Chains A and B, each alone.
Chain A
Amino acid sequence: MRSRFSLLIGAAALTFAGAAQAQHLRIGLAEDPDLLDPHQARTFVGRLVFTALCDKLVDIDANLKIVPRLATEWSVSEDGKTVTMKLRHGVTFHDGEKFDAAAAKFNLERALTLPESRRKSEIAAIATVDAVDDYTIRLNLKEPSSPLLSQLTDRAGMMVSPKAAKELGANLANKPVCSGPFKFVERVQNDRIVLERFANYWDKDKYHFDKVTFQPIPDATVRLANLQSGQLDMLERLLPTDIAAVKADKRLNLQAITSLGYASFSINVGNTPRANTPVGKDPRVREAIELSIDREILNQVVFNGEFTVGNQPVAPTNPFYAKTMPVPKRDVAKAKELLKAAGVPNLSFEMQVPNDTQQTQVAQVLQGMMREAGIDMKIVSIEFATALQNQTKRDYVTSLIGWSGRPDPDGNIHVFLHTGAPLDETDYSNADVDKHLDAARTTYDVAKRQEHYTKAAEQYLKDRPIIYLYHVKWLFAHSTKLAGFKASTDGMIRLENVKLQ
């Protein structure tokens, strides 16, 4: 349509180009997504595309409450070991295939068994899936699992066409066939991913775009410039330091929401050779390090005060935040005392930092604050791929890294702090913490879970294998022509009831 328009107007179109076309939404992404198959995908940015492309069994709302999508209702058995879900009628995949219990069973089994699947650990609690009737499935669990439903609000609960998946296998990623409000048209790597309206979507009245284009533009400044000059209608991950510029621009709107993730630095506290330092061995030293940091200043200097300061795996606003452990105040004198008591008044240690500009900035501010407490923190700048390898090999002393976050607190805590968990790369191990984290995972009672998470936090925040710093805010900037958009706490762009005016 765009090309025909320009052909008609000819050269005159040049001066107009960039003006928004009717109901074509152009979104600027911070990175190029990886595989476009919800079961194989690994990156955060890919989830932004899936939100428009694929539909899932359940979703979360603004208050992290689980709400129906393809599953209309669900119930958990008395013993917590079976989950029964009623499925929506009249749903079709983009290739015209029908969505029913068999399709849902196929998808969950694919997520569990496809060799390339990255969803296995997320839904490992599922032992088997039964299709009870045409529109009912039953998930038989190995043990009760309170985080399971929240996992089904993300990629693990997304449904692809069984026919296409059987035909293409792992190559489905090149030609994804889902059941979402928009269907796949084309992808040019590093350039664009184009989706168009799916005419048979079950909830199609709420979706108003004929076409949605995702354009990866890694440079934040260039991304914003594209929005300002009208090449984009919206962008994700605006730099906090650009907020003022967006607010000053009458053609732009801003949406901000605290994310589910956190930024932190991990400390190697296990028994490997590189953990054998005062920082790794002595909790007093780690406490001194934390006391030397002023999180408010960090937030002010690097993020113009726009992010949310925090000291736990979940943000202070989260219902599972341990209220008994508030953000500690900076205390340089006490930090110096602790270091003296630990016998290292002139502490010196290394921190590996991914070599991107924002992380480097954070590290330099931390370095400056620690210096005032007599701590010599050395920044070891490192490529991201190498940083990950060093962590899995335990070849680091401390490492600045974050987590994009999961709706259920289990996804932010258990996987990092439970003994031997897949991402327990600090080698932290505490029997009490393990007990509470396991208990919180296998009970559905929210009050009980809160209690367990608080008990665990009281322990691991004292041991400090990970020092939490702040919670990123998801920042979206968009043209004022775009109406109805609300930022979600998981950072996704939900296009329900969004339109261009």
Chain B
Amino acid sequence: MAVDAILDPAAPAGVVVEQSRGKRIWRRLLRRRSAVAGAVFVAFFVAVAVLAPLVSPYDPAKADWLQVRKPPSMAHWMGTDEIGRDVMARMIWGARASLLAGVVSVTIALMIGVPVGLLSGYCRGWIDHVLQRITDALLACPFLILAIALAAFLGPSLTNAMIAIGISTVPIFVRLTRGQVLAVAVEDYVEAARAIGNPHWRIALRHVFPNVVPPLLVQATLSIAAAILAEASLSFLGLGQQPPAPSWGSMLNTAKNFLAQAPWMAIWPGMAICAVVLGFNLFGDGLRDALDPKET
């Protein structure tokens, strides 16, 4: 869906020349097998998350006191957890939490970061200075510490973890958007649009913004991967998804107490996180190569 945005035939006038480039990028992306593989991974997990109520073999919160920490069996393909719940059901429902955490937090970061970056890059002057100092300061604070402090401030919950990760990711997008704006602003067609007296907001929105989209898209994909890891980390510290609802990170957090007796509790969520994050990374990476004009 995000890719369609670049291919949209109704794209603004300033990027008409870009249309054929869009098709070329799409073709290049398809040629990179690792990117396609990444997309397939991601699609698989998205499907699992969306279809959770249909594919889940059990209620993920239903505990069976007599089936505590049982290894994988025919009844429980991935075994049972510390209070006798089906691990597979929790993995399937947990996919929702992890993917949501990735997508929602990056959406939050985009919604704040892009306008601020546009504003900063386009207005220049003192606004730019102030915004850049704040961005610098946020970037200088360690990412996870910022997220931990924010999550602790908001109180432990999945929603708050997403907000915390989102806010901590904002500075990357401010930086990126601003850089792109500065690069694009000196291009001929923007100068031309300015020369014929277009209002500022119109130039920013119709001419500058579309050119900022491709690198943002790449960064967003990679940031989703990072955000999924961050959610897992926060859950690992007890600040993410709340019981009895599952998320892969919180499952790992619990599993670490039972590594010797019930290794399956740690292995499945760990592998799932790796797989989905790798999927996003491969896809984002392929996208970056496809968008890189230096690549042929």
Contacts and interface: CB of A to CB of B under 8 A. Distances in A.
Asked if chains A and B are in direct contact (CB within 8 A), the reply is yes
Interface of A: 219-221, 224, 239, 241-242, 244-245, 297, 300-302, 353, 355-358, 360-361, 363-365, 367-368, 379-383, 386
A368 B239 CA distance: 22
Given A239-B257, A357-B253, A364-B83, A379 B242 contact: yes
B260 A381 contact: no
A361 B152 contact: no
B63 A368 contact: yes
A184 B83 CA distance: 44
Given A360-B243, A365-B65, 14 more contacts: A219-B256, A221-B257, A221-B259, A239-B257, A241-B261, A245-B261, A300-B65, A300-B68, A301-B82, A357-B256, A358-B257, A360-B238, A360-B254, A364-B83
Contacts of B152: 383, 386
Mostly, the B contact residues are: loop
Contact of B63 (A360, A365, A382, A386): A365
29 contacts: A219-B256, A220-B257, A241-B257, A241-B258, A242-B260, A242-B261, A245-B260, A245-B261, A297-B65, A300-B68, A301-B65, A301-B82, A302-B83, A355-B156, A355-B238, A355-B239, A356-B238, A357-B254, A360-B254, A361-B82, A363-B243, A364-B243, A364-B244, A365-B63, A367-B244, A368-B63, A381-B243, A382-B156, A383-B156
Nearest to A362: B83
Contacts of B258: 241
Contacts of B253: 357
A268 B107 CA distance: 40
B155 interface: yes
Given A355-B238, A379-B242, A382-B155, A365 B257 contact: no
Interface in B241-272: 242-244, 253-254, 256-261
Interface string B54-88: 00000000010100100000000000001110000
B83 A361 contact: yes
Nearest to A385: B152
Contacts of A302: 82-83
Contacts of A381: 156-157, 238, 242-243
A353 B243 CA distance: 10
A356 B243 CA distance: 11
A372 to B, nearest CB: 11
B236 to A, nearest CB: 10
A301 B254 contact: no
Contacts of B244: 364, 367, 379
B243 A301 contact: no
B243 A379 contact: yes
A67 B150 CA distance: 51
Q: What 10 pairs across the A-B complex have the smallest Cβ distances?
A: A355-B238, A368-B63, A381-B242, A381-B156, A245-B260, A357-B254, A360-B243, A221-B259, A364-B243, A364-B244
A231 B242 CA distance: 35
A301 B155 contact: no
Interface of B: 63, 65, 68, 82-84, 152, 155-157, 238-239, 242-244, 253-254, 256-261
Nearest to B258: A241
B10 to A, nearest CB: 47
B280 to A, nearest CB: 28
Contacts of A367: 244
Contacts of A242: 260-261
A317 B259 CA distance: 33
A379 B68 CA distance: 21
A363 B63 CA distance: 13
B266 to A, nearest CB: 10
A219 B237 CA distance: 12
Contacts of B156: 355, 381-383
A450 B259 CA distance: 45
Contacts of A380: 242
Given A360-B243, A368-B83, A383-B156, A221 B254 contact: no
Nearest to A244: B261
B232 to A, nearest CB: 15
Nearest to B156: A381
Given A355-B238, A381-B242, A382-B155, A365 B83 contact: yes
B258 to A, nearest CB: 6
A360 B240 CA distance: 13
Contacts of A297: 65
A275 to B, nearest CB: 21
Contact of A386 (B65, B83, B155, B157): B155
A453 B261 CA distance: 42
A386 B157 CA distance: 14
A187 B83 CA distance: 40
Nearest to A361: B82
A208 B27 CA distance: 76
B263 to A, nearest CB: 11
A235 to B, nearest CB: 14
Nearest to A379: B243
Contacts of A221: 256-257, 259-260
Nearest to B82: A361
B62 to A, nearest CB: 8
A345 to B, nearest CB: 22
A383 B153 CA distance: 10
B67 to A, nearest CB: 10
B172 to A, nearest CB: 27
Contacts of B261: 241-242, 244-245
Contacts of B242: 379-381
A301 B84 contact: yes
Nearest to A228: B260
Nearest to B151: A383
A301 B83 contact: yes
Contacts of A353: 243
A221 B155 CA distance: 27
Q: Which of B68, B244, B257 has the most chain A CB atoms inside 10 A of its CB?
A: B257
Contacts of A356: 238
B181 to A, nearest CB: 40
A492 B10 CA distance: 75
